[in-house]
Structure 1
């Protein structure tokens, strides 16, 4: 699943290409339309696909921004503001092309589900292999309540104080630290990859009970999280499986990961261990992490 660095990379590449453009036409894939008719609301959330497409036509993209793992396209139509909220889910990706044939990998071409055609005839295509992502059109962000519960951005000045306070709440203090730092209500944008890396950096076992960590350990862990997130942003994110940037290219952070997906600990040479925490596979070293 794309995490904060991967989403940040997509946003940075989209901004200079699509900001200022006006949407002429929107196509929704038959698969998405059929899912709605079956009552499943695949990808297009909160509205019927045809109504969603018609509403977007004529809108101008004013700004593209990221918040946690979400992409926000701020739009304007007849003087009225709107926001297209996008979450990439497990396998979502955006492509800027002139034709679908320009999307290099067939697995993305065949799963192009939302196609925005601009007045200059360029296209912004949302492809999603497993269809766990979402596109939701709202008048303002407060219309989607889950967004109001997100933790501050990890790079914000108040992010550590917020993390510390949340970690001391009874509902978090008794949980495994790996589960807590992957919770978007505690830290924004830290998922399985970067939680694994930060915990290894600080030699903390992912199953360690949060309430048993000293404040100095929590501060060091928080710094490790922000450091690895920034490193990944600088390296274009991690392409572990299906993450691609808008040009269909892979990131480079996967070449620098120390523990995520590793079979052997790079420090002591012992085989790594795995445990399921919050539904995700957690890899760690039983000797180096305590």
Structure 2
């Protein structure tokens, strides 16, 4: 699943090709249309396909930003404003192309589910191989209350203090630290990849409970998480499986990962182990992480 750095890369690439452009038409795949007719909330959430397309046509994209792992398209038409929220799920990707045939990989071309034709003739294409992503059209962020429950951005002032206070609450203080830092209500945008890397850098076992880590160590852990996220942003994100930027390029952070997906520890050479935490496979070094 794309995490904060990957989503940030998509947003930065989308901004110059979409801001100021007016949506001329919207095409939705038969797969999504048929799924919606069967009562499934496939990709387009909370609204019929016809209404989704009708409302988007004529809207101008005024801003594209990131909030945690979500992409926010701010839209305007006359005096009306609305918000298109995009989550990439496990395998979602946006492409800016002249035709769908220009999408570099067949697996994305074959799963182009929403196509926005812009005023300059280019297409913004949302492809999603596994269809776990979402597009949600809102009047404003508060129309979907769960968005308001996300933790502050990790780069923001006060985010560390927020993390410390949340980690000390009864809901979290007895949970494994890996589960705590992957929770978007505690830290925004830190998923399995970067949680794994940060815990390895800190020498912390992923199953150690939050209450068994000192406040000083938690502060240091938060700083390491921020550093790892920033390093990945600078590297264009991690292309472990299906992450691609809007021009089809992969990131390079996967070449810098020390622990995620590794069979041996780069520091001590011992065989790594893995365990399930919060439904995700957590790889760790039994010698270096305590």
Same fold (TM over 0.5): yes
Please state if 1:120 is matched with 2:120: yes
- Residue 139 of structure 1 is matched in structure 2 by 139
TM-score by length of 2: 0.99
Alignment of 1:64-213 (within 5 A): 64-213=64-213
Partner Cα distance (1:233, 1:119) in 2 = 30
- Residue 242 of structure 1 is matched in structure 2 by 242
TM-score by length of 1: 0.99
* CA shift for structure 1 position 50: 1.2
Give unmatched runs, 5+ long, in structure 1: none
Partner Cα distance (1:40, 1:17) in 2 = 32
- Residue 286 of structure 1 is matched in structure 2 by 286
Please give the root-mean-square deviation of Cα atoms over the aligned residues, in Å. 0.5
Partner Cα distance (1:270, 1:57) in 2 = 57
Partner Cα distance (2:137, 2:285) in 1 = 44
DSSP 3-state at the match of 2:171: helix
* CA shift for structure 1 position 40: 1.0
Partner Cα distance (1:78, 1:123) in 2 = 23
- Residue 252 of structure 1 is matched in structure 2 by 252
Partner Cα distance (2:40, 2:117) in 1 = 26
Partner Cα distance (2:155, 2:54) in 1 = 37
DSSP 3-state at the match of 2:172: helix
- Residue 58 of structure 1 is matched in structure 2 by 58
DSSP 3-state at the match of 1:204: coil
Partner Cα distance (1:128, 1:7) in 2 = 14
Partner Cα distance (1:273, 1:220) in 2 = 24
DSSP 3-state at the match of 1:170: coil
Partner Cα distance (2:211, 2:31) in 1 = 46
CA offsets 1:108-133 (integer angstroms, 9 cap, x no match): 00000000001221100000000000
- Residue 29 of structure 1 is matched in structure 2 by 29
Partner Cα distance (2:280, 2:266) in 1 = 22
- Residue 217 of structure 1 is matched in structure 2 by 217
Runs of 4+ residues over 3 Å off in structure 1: none
* CA shift for structure 1 position 78: 2.2
Give unmatched runs, 5+ long, in structure 2: none
Partner Cα distance (1:40, 1:12) in 2 = 32
